[in-house]
Amino acid sequence: MGKRNTKKAKPEKERQGWLAWVLGSSDNFDGYFAQSRSLALSFVLVAPLLMIYEVALVYSPARATGAGKFLKDLLSGVFAARAWTAFNAVVVVLLLAAVLVLVKRRRLRLNLILPMLLESAVMAAVLVGIAVLFYRRFPHVGVALGHAGSVAFLDVMGSVGAGVYEEIVFRLFLTSALLLAGLKLFGERLVWAAIFAAAASALIFAWGHVAAPGAVSLGHPQGWLNLGFYFTSGVFFAILYIFRGLGVAVYTHVAYDLVVLLGGG
C-alpha cells in the first residue's frame, strides 16, 4: 500500500515542482539567476511601469491598444465602466502580495533590481542587433519620434504599455501555458518543452502583429520580412521569459521599443 501511494504521489510532486519552476515561485532559489526569475520580484519590478502607464492614460486622450486592450476588454465584461479601476486595484493588490511573499520568505532582494535592469539593457541591445540584420535593406521601417510635447509623451507611453502588456499576455499567460503543456507532452524534458512553447507562442505573437489593423500586408515582401522578424523576436522573448523571468523580459521589451522609437525605426 505504502509503495503504491509513493508511486502515485511522485508524479504529482514533480508536476507541482515544474509549475513552481515555470512561474518562478519555487523556494529553491540560489544565486542571482535563480532569484531574479522570481515572479514576485519580477512583479515588484514591473508594477511601477504598469502604474505609470495607467496614470498616463487617465490624463491623456489615448486608449489602450493591442494586448492591453485585450486585457481591459476581458475585465470590462465583468466590471463594465469600472474595468480600469478594477484592473488598477488588482495591480496594487498583487504588488502588495508579491512584497509580502518575498518578505515572508526573506527573499526581497531589491539589490537585484539594478543588475536585472542592466541585463535587460544588454538583451535589448542584442535584439536591436537582430533587428538591424533583418531590416538593413529597409532603413525607413518604423516611425520616428517626430513629435513634440504631449504627442511625444504618448508615443513613449505607448511603447512602455506595449512592452508590459505584450509580455503579460504572450509570455506570462500564453508561453507559461504552452510550457506546461510541453512538459506533459515531452515527458518533463525542459529543453523540448521550451522549444515547443517558444515556437508556438512566437507564431501567435508574429501573427498578432502582421494581422493587426494598419500592418503591412503579407502580399508585400515587407510583410513577410516583418513576419520573420516578429517570429524571431517572439522566440527571443519567450526563451528570455522561460529562463530569465518576467521582469527581465518586460524591461528588455520596453527598452527595445524605446530604442526603436527614439532611433526612428
Say whether pLDDT at 142 is over 70: no
13 or 152: whose pLDDT is higher? 152
Overall average pLDDT of the 111-134 stretch: 93
Overall average pLDDT of the 236-261 stretch: 93
Q: Of 249, 222, 196, 122, which is closest to residue 230 (Cα–Cα)?
A: 222
In this structure, which amino acid lies at residue 257? D
C-alpha cell at 59: 490624463
Gap between the Cα atoms of 39 and 105, Å rounded: 13
pLDDT at res. 7: 46
C-alpha cell at 176: 507559461
Gap between the Cα atoms of 242 and 80, Å rounded: 34
The model's pTM is 0.82
Tens of pLDDT along 31-62?
Answer: 888 888 888 888 889 888 888 887 777 766 55
Name the band, by pLDDT with cuts 50, 70 and 90, for residue 67. Answer: low
* 172 burial type by CB count under 10 A (0-12 exposed, 13-18 middle, 19+ buried): buried
C-alpha cell at 105: 520568505
C-alpha cell at 121: 539593457
Tens of pLDDT along 76-107?
Answer: 655 555 556 666 677 777 777 877 877 777 77
pLDDT at res. 123: 97
With vertex at residue 126, the alpha carbon angle to CA 236 and CA 192, rounded to the nearest 5 degrees, is 25
Beta strands in 42-156, from DSSP E residues, in sequence order? none
Residues 6+ apart with CB under 8 A from 248: 36, 42, 116, 119, 120, 123, 240
* 248 burial type by CB count under 10 A (0-12 exposed, 13-18 middle, 19+ buried): buried
Overall average pLDDT of the 185-199 stretch: 92
In this structure, which amino acid lies at residue 29? F
Cα atoms in the Cβ-side hemisphere of radius 13 Å centred on 153: 11
In the chain, the percentage of residues whose pLDDT exceeds 90 is 29
